[in-house]
Amino acid sequence: MSMDDSDLALVNAAGRGDVDAFESLVRRYQGPLLNFIARTLGDRGAAEDLAQEVFLRVYRAASRFEARTKVSTWVFRIAYNLAMTELDRRKRRRTLAEALHRNGEEASREALADPGEDREFQEEIASALDGLPGNQRAVLLLRLHQDLSYREIAEILGTSVGSVESLLFRARKTLRESLGRRKQQGGTK
């Protein structure tokens, strides 16, 4: 049984009220989903709350799930939509968003940190990621950290493959430019 078939069986069972199946689904997606949301928001604490909301929505909708897409695509689309809503809410409350951003910077850096890489460089990458628009950041994270195909990302974002390619191109270009400016200013060796 493939992972997709296994996921579908778990969702169908959860939709019939099988709590063990739902818990298996949560265990399977909890880590990747939490990492995606934390990197998107730059705030691990808020990501944990949002991940709980994602799983609550998955549980409530499991009985209505139609296998037109993969379960992973469905779950990450719910997470993406909730994360974008949270980012929009933060923008509308500018002063609150600035405070949350300052408090979430360390969490964002920790979520991106790779013990094998230079800490200063990791901080520069995290800062550059924080500067990306939410949809560009999401596309980049889904591609690099979740290893999803352009088609899967397009389904999650509810857009075309061409839009995903464009968002990814702009995100990479912006990151290169941002990191290049920092390097010229003496930030990176």
For residue 86, the domain's CATH number is: 1.10.1740.10
In a domain, 24, yes or no: yes
In a domain, 159, yes or no: yes
pLDDT at residue 145 in the model: 79
pLDDT at residue 183 in the model: 63
In a domain, 189, yes or no: no
8 touches 67 (CB < 8 A):
yes
**What sign does the CA torsion over 153, 158, 160, 166 have?**
negative
Q: Which residues of the chain have pLDDT under 50?
A: 94-117, 188-189
pLDDT at residue 93 in the model: 58
pLDDT at residue 175 in the model: 82
At 66, list the tokens. Answer: 């139609």
The Cα-based distances of 174 to 72, 74, 158, 162, 167 in angstroms read: 28, 29, 23, 18, 10
Q: Look up the domain containing 112 and give its range.
A: 3-184
Q: Which of 63, 61, 30, 64 is nearest to 47 (CA)?
A: 30
In a domain, 118, yes or no: yes
The residue count for the chain: 189
Total number of domains constituting the chain: 1
Tens of pLDDT, residues 59-78: 999 999 988 889 999 999 99
pLDDT at residue 176 in the model: 82
